[in-house]
Amino acid sequence: MAIQSLLVILFLPLLSSAYEASKHLKEFTVIEGKVYCQSCEHIGSWSLEGAKSLASAKVGIACKDYKKRIWFYKSFEADKNGYYYAPIPEMDGTEGVRKKEISGCSIHLLDSPDSACNLLTNINFGIAGAGVGERKKAVKEKGYEVVVYAAPPLAFKPVNCVPLGH
């Protein structure tokens, strides 16, 4: 019993400092997704089969609180592969709190730089506002944690498609 008490006394400062460090962990929340140009063969459907990545497409992300007030809005530009990575500030807290806040965020198609593929579609609610998916992954490093949520793929459609014959 004396040895156990001695171990607790020796390791108590280490446990206390680990607890203090965990309270000061910097947390970052990110939404990531991809934007496509839908293929002509699937216009009128939600299919992304044969779709091509849309470089430099813009999406807008809006987050609302429980009273439906917008507390965050920003546009993000996709990279050359149609991929966007959107840090959302002020979403630190417990997983339960973060989940409630992230559920108030939606992603909207804004702009396509490709004049041949710049018509909005509502695939995965790209016009109405796509919801954010489940937590995809978390990256923990010394002093910070990045929690990444997946957005559904969004798409523009081509301006001119050759009509399919019957």
pTM of the predicted model as reported, rounded to 2 decimal places:
0.76
**How remote is the C-alpha of 89 from its chain's centroid?**
12
What pLDDT, in 10s, does the model give residues 89-112?
A: 866 555 555 555 788 899 999 999
- The CATH class of the 26-157 domain is mainly beta
Residue 148 pLDDT exceeds 80: yes
Quick one: DSSP state of residue 1?
-
CA atoms within 13 A on the CB side of 61: 26
What pLDDT, in 10s, does the model give residues 41-63?
A: 999 999 999 999 999 999 999 99
